[in-house]
Chain A
Amino acid sequence: AQSVTQLGSHVSVSEGALVLLRCNYSSSVPPYLFWYVQYPNQGLQLLLKYTSAATLVKGINGFEAEFKKSETSFHLTKPSAHMSDAAEYFCAVTPNFGNEKLTFGTGTRLTIIP
């Protein structure tokens, strides 16, 4: 079985500051990991994904995440927050052998302080 835990349901950072959203996973088999973003009243958009190639994954809008097997983590970072980054962020996991089921974390709401 797979699961993800997102630490911090709400994170606030100042504009221009570092963004760090935490995700830890649990998986009995090698995982694929994803970060999705949901802007208010919209659907989910893929930010980036880890599929066992490079452990440092770069995504859209300046976000990146690093897969750390020893820490079972896949934290999302961005060096400098922008007002447009305010949204809900979801980490998700799936087994790497073709199981289509995505298991989502509970989400982290990111607020940007002007």
Chain B
Amino acid sequence: DTAVSQTPKYLVTQMGNDKSIKCEQNLGHDTMYWYKQDSKKFLKIMFSYNNKELIINETVPNRFSPKSPDKAHLNLHINSLELGDSAVYFCASSHKGGGELQQETQYFGPGTRLLVL
């Protein structure tokens, strides 16, 4: 069984379109994340949700809007796609654990390769 899954795996679209990427985890984790990996393989966090609440929101254009309908899902909607949005988007999840001293491992999905033409 896939622990963290993303759909679609590949997404090719035109500039200006709106698209969504879905993420689901079956690990029982309470925290989920979106990362962006650019063409130089640099990985940077975009958002993090804990128990459906937004806890990390890096400097990301407001065209990107995450939505967490429940703890097992974190979707990413992108409006008015631009060429620079072309990248691989990774979803991840972790369990925050007991107390503030816990930092659990983040498990990553297979990635969604977005190409904006």
Q: Residues of A at under 8 Å CB distance from B?
A: 32, 34, 36, 38, 42-46, 49, 51, 88, 90, 94-104, 106-107
Contacts and interface: CB of A to CB of B under 8 A. Distances in A.
A51 to B, nearest CB: 7
B109 A100 contact: no
B34 interface: no
A102 B33 CA distance: 10
B105 A34 contact: yes
The interface size bin for chain B is 20 to 34
B64 interface: no
Given A42-B110, A43-B109, A90-B43, A101 B100 contact: no
Given A44-B108, A98-B96, A101-B56, A32 B103 contact: yes
A90 B55 CA distance: 24
B101 A100 contact: no
B90 A98 contact: no
Contacts of A98: 96, 99-103
B111 A42 contact: yes
B50 interface: yes
A104 B48 contact: no
A97 B90 contact: no
Nearest to B50: A100
B75 interface: no
